[in-house]
Structure 1
Amino acid sequence: MIRLMSMAVLAMCFCASIASAQGREVLGHGRLVNNDLLGDLGDRWQSGSVASSRVVGRGWDGFLPDRPFDLLEYRLGGQVITPADLRRPDPDDRPFAGALSLGLHTHFSRGATEFSLGGDLVFTGPQTGLGDMHTAIHDALRQNPVRPSVLDDQIENGIHPTFVGEAGRQFALGSGVVRPFTELRWGAESLARVGADFSFGPVGQGELLVRDPVTGQRYRSVYEYVSGMTYVFGGDFAWVESSVFLPEDRGYEVEETRSRLRAGVHWQGELNSTFFGVTYLTEEFEGQDQGQAVGSVRIKLQF
């Protein structure tokens, strides 16, 4: 894991130096933490994940540039997926999986349509060290850790190049905004998705919001610091082709469709800001007997 993280940091520094040499500056940072414990108080399936973004460009005036690669987002992510029972899992339950990702994405617009295009390298398996980290956290909290045999059966080491593309457009809706979108992912997970997001309030307007891959929640990455509260609601529907986290050669079958329903609230004070949201995820594989609720949080404090 240390080697992978070192490679990721070096790659980010290298990309940042290139961006600086091309006249770009850091415009903002964004991050979001998701955990099943914050949703339905469990520790199962989509157990926990982190998404982090660093955005660089030639300035920000509240609108996306009209050319790709003028604005770049360097993206880091981590994800832990577990069976429902960490000690004695059902033989039909999904395997433990850890994934770390490093990506480069660009955001731009053509007319009123907003685009996000990019790619991620998704590292899976024991090489990520996430199984050991999960065990250490459970030991520190005096909770039952994952059984060694479960970790031995986790998704294998691999590197999975993944393309991610999204197109969306905003429309006024009374005092709020609705943004329908389509998304295509091809790689670690291959799927096509359609959905929409609704927002009511001043926070987030004129900002760059980035979509979290697990929940679909959009987190703030370039800020305007407008005080107030914004309520967000959304949902999407996906047609799923394949997932490295549910390999067919091990007898797993992905659900051909998935849905997500989400809600949340952004609060921005004079300096500090918070976000809390909840997302309901439907079943992802044959044998999963119910969906789950995942909580999302981001706290930004300035002194």
Structure 2
Amino acid sequence: MLSYVKNLVTSAAVIAATLAATQSAQAEDRVTLGWGRMFTNDALGDQKDRWRTGGYQVSRIRGYSWNGALPTTPGEILEFRASAQIIAPEDLVSPPPTDRRYAAQLSFGLHTQFDWHGNDVSIGSDLVLLGPQTGISNFQKWVHNMVGLEEPTVIDDQIGNGIYPTLDAEVGRKFALGDRAEIRPFVQAQAGVETFLRVGGDLVIGTLGRDDLMVRDSITGQRYRAVEGTRDQGVSIILGGDIARVFDSALLPSDGVATLTEDRSRLRAGMHWQGEKASVFYGVTYLSKEFDQQPEGQLVGGLNLNLKF
């Protein structure tokens, strides 16, 4: 199964890179179609500052035009994605001896989204950096000193420097449930910094954002708007969940005290509000245990705010 996942995402990424490269001659015709971002933090969830404690993901979408539907050719839509994430033990000063190690993660990637026989497809690759080389742990230490908090000593035993090329592919399909609801089951595979196979689905109640280009946040699985379609005002409710079989993780090394939990699940709910000149998304996601010694799951909040002047 592990080799199948790696072959799947490798083939998908090669296709995406090849097709994107063939269109480089037309790069001057591309425009920025939109920006998307998602801020995640357990301060917006269970407020306990632990494990998947914080992250930020941003997407810049480049293409020729957006008419509310994905193109059928891979490479026409390009997503330049960057993200930063802090993963920490339960206590930043005196963690339990069986807790996971601190990890600082920074990534940069190129993805493409397209329509394949009525299915939404996203394929691409990211270069994921771990360790002190990211500068994230030093930044966190500086913030703690600035606000008078105790310096996080777990940084000294963080996961070391590493670079992990990571390949990712997702296939989903939308099904209308009447006029005001839509469900989208999906399958996702990833190989690299974490290698897994995931299945799940998302339910949107309301018509807001139906013709937007959406991108999935890697931590919570919440989908955020990257390109705006019809600017309708109103509210949509988003519910979703997924389960993954995790085969390998550089964030939980095999020689560490904390041992990887093979099955990982997420349950999420959120609300998207669109006004005349502003939009807000707020959601909460339950993340199940990621390592065997983890005593319980956690709640992580996600926030997306857009203002137009």
Q: TM-score, normalised by structure 1?
A: 0.91
Hey, what's the Cα distance between the residues in 2 that align with 1:176 and 1:134? 41
- Could you tell me which residue of structure 1 aligns to residue 217 of structure 2? 212
Gap regions ≥5 residues in structure 1: 1-14
Aligned residues: 285
Amino acid at match of 1:186: A
What SS does the corresponding residue of 1:249 show, helix, strand or coil?
Answer: coil
Deviation at 1:201, TM superposition (A): 1.4
What SS does the corresponding residue of 2:29 show, helix, strand or coil?
Answer: coil
Q: Does 1:187 align with 2:192?
A: yes
Asked whether the 8 Å contact 1:262–1:277 carries over to 2, the reply is yes
- Could you tell me which residue of structure 2 aligns to residue 51 of structure 1? 57
Larger CA deviation: 99-108 vs 133-142: 133-142
- Could you tell me which residue of structure 2 aligns to residue 6 of structure 1? none
Asked whether the 8 Å contact 1:63–1:206 carries over to 2, the reply is yes
- Could you tell me which residue of structure 1 aligns to residue 208 of structure 2? 203
How does 1:68-87 map onto structure 2 within 5 Å?
A: 68-87=74-93
Percent identity (aligned): 47
1:300 to 280, 303, 306: 306
- Could you tell me which residue of structure 2 aligns to residue 167 of structure 1? 171
- Could you tell me which residue of structure 2 aligns to residue 152 of structure 1? 156
Asked whether the 8 Å contact 2:100–2:257 carries over to 1, the reply is no
Hey, what's the Cα distance between the residues in 1 that align with 2:148 and 2:274? 35
Deviation at 1:22, TM superposition (A): 4.4
Larger CA deviation: 181-190 vs 199-208: 199-208
Deviation at 1:138, TM superposition (A): 2.3
Q: Does 1:23 align with 2:29?
A: yes
Hey, what's the Cα distance between the residues in 2 that align with 1:230 and 1:75? 25
Structural RMSD (CA): 1.3
Relative contact order higher in (CA < 8 Å, ≥ 6 apart): 2
Hey, what's the Cα distance between the residues in 1 that align with 2:39 and 2:288? 20
Amino acid at match of 1:145: E
- Could you tell me which residue of structure 2 aligns to residue 95 of structure 1? 101
Asked whether the 8 Å contact 2:98–2:257 carries over to 1, the reply is no
Asked whether the 8 Å contact 2:39–2:304 carries over to 1, the reply is yes
Hey, what's the Cα distance between the residues in 1 that align with 2:170 and 2:123? 7
Hey, what's the Cα distance between the residues in 1 that align with 2:278 and 2:249? 38
Hey, what's the Cα distance between the residues in 1 that align with 2:100 and 2:44? 21
How does 1:213-252 map onto structure 2 within 5 Å?
A: 213-224=218-229, 225-252=231-258
Hey, what's the Cα distance between the residues in 2 that align with 1:228 and 1:163? 36
Hey, what's the Cα distance between the residues in 2 that align with 1:142 and 1:200? 44
Deviation at 1:81, TM superposition (A): 0.3
Asked whether the 8 Å contact 1:19–1:56 carries over to 2, the reply is no
Deviation at 1:271, TM superposition (A): 1.2
Amino acid at match of 1:236: D
Hey, what's the Cα distance between the residues in 2 that align with 1:139 and 1:42? 19
Hey, what's the Cα distance between the residues in 2 that align with 1:80 and 1:123? 12
Hey, what's the Cα distance between the residues in 2 that align with 1:180 and 1:19? 36
Hey, what's the Cα distance between the residues in 2 that align with 1:287 and 1:250? 12
Deviation at 1:249, TM superposition (A): 2.1
Deviation at 1:19, TM superposition (A): 8.1
Asked whether the 8 Å contact 1:272–1:301 carries over to 2, the reply is yes
Asked whether the 8 Å contact 1:32–1:52 carries over to 2, the reply is yes
Hey, what's the Cα distance between the residues in 2 that align with 1:101 and 1:52? 11
1:38 to 11, 23, 44: 44
How far does the alpha carbon of each residue in 1:3-47 deviate from its partner, in whole angstroms, 9 at most, with x for none? xxxxxxxxxxxx9xx587342111000000000111001110001
Counterparts in 2 of 1:95 and 1:69: CA distance versus 1, 3 Å: same
Hey, what's the Cα distance between the residues in 1 that align with 2:38 and 2:25? 24
Asked whether the 8 Å contact 1:202–1:230 carries over to 2, the reply is yes
